[in-house]
Structure 1
Amino acid sequence: MRFAADLHLHSRYAGGVSPAMTLENIALWAQRKGVDLLATGDCLQADWLHEIETKLTPAEPGFFALRPDIESALHEKLPAHLHRPLRFVLSTEVNCAPPGTRSLGGIHHLLYFPSLETIHTFREKLLPFGHFQEGRPDLALNSRQLLELVLAHDPACHLAPAHVFNPWFSALGTVGGGRTLDAVFGDLTPHLLAAETGLTSTPPMCRRIVSLDRLALFSCSDAHSLDNIGREFTLLDIEPSYNALFAALRSGSPKHILGTRKFPLHRTRYFLNWCGQCQDNFDARTCPKCRRPLVDGSRDRLEKIADRSSPLFPAFTPPFQELLPLATLIAHLNHRKPDSDIVTTLSRQLIDTVGHERFLLTEATADDINRAGIPQIATAILAQRAQPSTYFARPTREPPGPPTQQFSLPL
């Protein structure tokens, strides 16, 4: 079965997350976005864990589905062509912040669990190291100590470094990260599941780092709000089970990982260097507004820690594609903000008439899209899809060429 999997998002119990991030709303938006498999996020937080236990029900081994009555109520809010089976996997993000960690320090990791029982027992083991009122808990452990606990707890539990190049809270980040994964996880590095690229890196960037060579790559949204669900995802062809999912992610085989869709890197907040005072990014070393030194974004951080001048891909690597989300694309065409009323109306019209967002952006023909009666959007969608931002990795040191603009899109 094919799954578009978004395996990193948050509940309303995590800091900086929309209060609208309920299980029902997450499921509703996932159907509209074309996401089939979701992480629950925040499963160590007691209130959210209670909602998971009462609103989800076991499905295939290690997968969970909405309770039938909740699913029926959800489908009443959607056109019939958007009704699809939706599955969840138990997960959380945690912040490793041992004593002495600086403010805005620590390193984020993704944890995955095969059952509710393993969450409860692992939660008990972690109680001496943190509290769980926050959806993304701070743990008084370093990354190696956490990985050691995960490995000892259950062989079916997994840990992956989150948004691996983000300047803050990441294993290779500017603030608190190491120059290599071995500097962060030591001798346990080979036991990592995979590396999440995050919004601030692409496979070609990651394949310039030797310590990432042994790990497969996957992409997720890290959604803090409903509209960001599925802005990045990993497309899988697997048997529907927890073990099959994580075997595929660990192997990185293109037989099972068909590719990833990513938000355009150059539009992300922390790709260029960042000024915390002015809350803006700049292609500079010093902020042109306040003259403070800037924190290295992922682009400049990579040049400081990369082992290679160009990427070296494994012989067989899944492709990736950079695409603007539907609302962002429509907003650009109409010179509006993505959350404006006209953009919301046009997005809903397209999805309700044609199909979910993933279908619209990656598969729908011009005739399909034109059924919604908005021909200029069909032109933009097809032009974006035709841009050579899909890189098929190859066993060479040659870097992929830059995307060529074929339409007026701010990629």
Structure 2
Amino acid sequence: MKQIFTDLHIHIGRTASGKAVKITGSRNLTLLNIIEYASFQKGLDMIGIIDCHSPEVLMEMDTYIAEGRMTQKNGGGLEMDGITIIPGSELEIYDDTCSGPIHVLCYLPTLNAMKGFSLWLSGKMKNIQLSSQRIYVTGIELQRKVKELGGLFIPAHIFTPFKSMYGSGVKQSLSEVFDPSLIDAVELGLSSNTEMADNIKELHAYPYVTNSDAHSLAKLGREYQILELKEASFQELEKALKGMDGRSIVANYGMDPLLGKYHETVCLKCHKPLGEEEAACSSCGHKIVKKGVAARIQELSTNSTKPERPPYIHQVPLEFIPGLGNKTLEKLLTYFSTEMQIIHAAPYEKLAEIVPVKIADYIKAAREGNLSLTVGGGGRYGSVYIKEENK
């Protein structure tokens, strides 16, 4: 068995020709750049590209296959430059059963299966070229189609206040919209963790995945999981999600949920933290209040006995470390090869030789859980500082 570092939610901002796929994605978030960055800078082994339904993305992948640069793996998935790619699609459903829009992730084992899925989608959405578009079928109909093609179905960032299952899509239960038996896992999102999610009993039936939802290269790997697999492939991923044949999720790695953009309920105008009962901001009077993830989970909590889970390990992405800019990061990468090595394994003494001691102190404090955090909310990330600084 091998330990496979996996991030299953990465967007394509632009195709090789410059055509937009994820409108809010970075222009340099191309397939080739993602593969290079994921492998050589982030240290990932398997990635989910969730815009593969886009016809121009499919054409680009066909070109790489014809050139011999990309190959279809026997166990499902594609391989290029040592990285395994799981072809996926992020879609938005908003049918009569939904309270609001919900984003979901659909993964398929082969490029041919994704081509068939793309053709099916093209008659059920307005712009097949773009990512995260609304599909005009029910959630259950979409689930059945994914299963018909041998795929995996995973609700995305399930607590995010905008466009997620619990954040906007259902009142109390996922069964209002989906067939529970056709869900393979749920994606937690940046503002929650395992302990928080397990307050909801109906989630105990599913494994949790933690992914970056990267809209830029720098965001790759900010959340990921380590899987124990025989090899990096679609079939092995499916076995890990089902806990079959010794395959498993070893650990989930994610940001401390306090750093997430939607953890706390805040005023969307002045960002003052608000209590559960406040319908308007007491500071500025603004009346638009979006419930934070922590409050929403508390509202749905069933206070049941929690199941055994893989450990959820908090990590602080390097972009949150004060003073750690691109030039400093380049120095660190020259010595330690990948960001995961820097975050989790680089000896403090060597860090302090390469970068200013204060930055080394931050990395060490983050690794040991000795950072204090300001809480994120209302679309703004939290921030970090060393506890002694607060004194």
Indicate the TM-score class for this superposition, using the shorter chain for normalisation. Answer: 0.7 to 0.9
Contact 1:163 1:196 in 2 (8 A): yes
Contact 2:58 2:115 in 1 (8 A): no
**Residue 29 of structure 1 pairs with residue 37 of structure 2:** yes
**Residue 54 of structure 1 pairs with residue 63 of structure 2:** yes
Per the alignment, in what secondary structure is the counterpart of residue 282 of structure 1?
coil
> 1:407–1:107: structure 2 CA closer, same or farther, 3 Å change rule?
same
Inter-partner Cα distance in structure 2 for 1:327 and 1:408: 21
- Residue 378 of structure 1, CA deviation: 2.9
- Residue 368 of structure 1, CA deviation: 4.1
Inter-partner Cα distance in structure 1 for 2:161 and 2:265: 9
> 1:238–1:180: structure 2 CA closer, same or farther, 3 Å change rule?
same
Give the structure 2 partner of residue 166 of structure 1: 160
**Residue 86 of structure 1 pairs with residue 90 of structure 2:** no
> 1:313–1:7: structure 2 CA closer, same or farther, 3 Å change rule?
same
Give the structure 2 partner of residue 270 of structure 1: 262
Contact 1:64 1:87 in 2 (8 A): yes
**Residue 107 of structure 1 pairs with residue 102 of structure 2:** yes
- Amino acid aligned to 2:138: N
> 1:100–1:168: structure 2 CA closer, same or farther, 3 Å change rule?
same
Aligned residue among 297, 302, 325 for 2:297:
302
- Residue 409 of structure 1, CA deviation: 8.4
Q: Percent identity?
A: 24
Inter-partner Cα distance in structure 2 for 1:408 and 1:34: 32
> 1:251–1:375: structure 2 CA closer, same or farther, 3 Å change rule?
same
- Residue 347 of structure 1, CA deviation: 0.9
> 1:18–1:355: structure 2 CA closer, same or farther, 3 Å change rule?
same
- Residue 53 of structure 1, CA deviation: 2.5
Inter-partner Cα distance in structure 1 for 2:85 and 2:340: 18
Inter-partner Cα distance in structure 1 for 2:354 and 2:163: 42
Please list the CA deviations of residues 234-285 of structure 1 after superposition, one character each: whole Å capped at 9, or x if unmatched.
Answer: 1112122211112102339996211111112112111112555x28463343
> 1:408–1:45: structure 2 CA closer, same or farther, 3 Å change rule?
farther
Give the structure 1 partner of residue 339 of structure 2: 357
- Residue 200 of structure 1, CA deviation: 1.9
**Residue 196 of structure 1 pairs with residue 187 of structure 2:** yes
TM-score by length of 2: 0.84
- Amino acid aligned to 1:182: S
- Please identify, of 55-64 and 259-268, the stretch whose mean Cα deviation from structure 2 is larger: 55-64
What is the RMSD computed on CA atoms of the aligned residues? 2.6
Contact 1:108 1:162 in 2 (8 A): yes
Q: Where does the alignment leave 5 or more consecutive residues of structure 2 unmatched?
A: 14-20, 65-69, 372-384
Inter-partner Cα distance in structure 1 for 2:243 and 2:75: 20
Give the structure 1 partner of residue 287 of structure 2: 292
Aligned residue among 216, 240, 246 for 2:238:
246
**Residue 7 of structure 1 pairs with residue 3 of structure 2:** no
Per the alignment, in what secondary structure is the counterpart of residue 271 of structure 1?
coil
Give the structure 1 partner of residue 320 of structure 2: 328
Per the alignment, in what secondary structure is the counterpart of residue 7 of structure 1?
strand
Per the alignment, in what secondary structure is the counterpart of residue 169 of structure 1?
coil
Please list the CA deviations of residues 83-137 of structure 1 after superposition, one character each: whole Å capped at 9, or x if unmatched.
Answer: xx322111111001237978xx411000000001111222222333213021222
- Amino acid aligned to 1:163: H
**Residue 384 of structure 1 pairs with residue 369 of structure 2:** no
- Amino acid aligned to 1:229: L
Inter-partner Cα distance in structure 2 for 1:164 and 1:130: 22
**Residue 225 of structure 1 pairs with residue 228 of structure 2:** no
Give the structure 1 partner of residue 374 of structure 2: none
**Residue 41 of structure 1 pairs with residue 50 of structure 2:** yes
Q: Where does the alignment leave 5 or more consecutive residues of structure 1 unmatched?
A: 72-84, 335-341, 390-404
> 1:129–1:46: structure 2 CA closer, same or farther, 3 Å change rule?
same
Per the alignment, in what secondary structure is the counterpart of residue 263 of structure 2?
coil
Aligned residue among 318, 328, 337 for 1:346:
328
Aligned residue among 182, 207, 227 for 1:236:
227
Inter-partner Cα distance in structure 2 for 1:253 and 1:280: 48
Per the alignment, in what secondary structure is the counterpart of residue 290 of structure 2?
coil
Give the structure 2 partner of residue 147 of structure 1: 143
Give the structure 1 partner of residue 79 of structure 2: 65
Aligned residue among 177, 181, 190 for 2:174:
181
Inter-partner Cα distance in structure 2 for 1:46 and 1:409: 52
Inter-partner Cα distance in structure 1 for 2:332 and 2:26: 25
Inter-partner Cα distance in structure 1 for 2:236 and 2:254: 23
- Amino acid aligned to 2:171: G
Aligned residue among 132, 137, 144 for 2:133:
137
Inter-partner Cα distance in structure 1 for 2:272 and 2:262: 7
- Amino acid aligned to 2:85: F
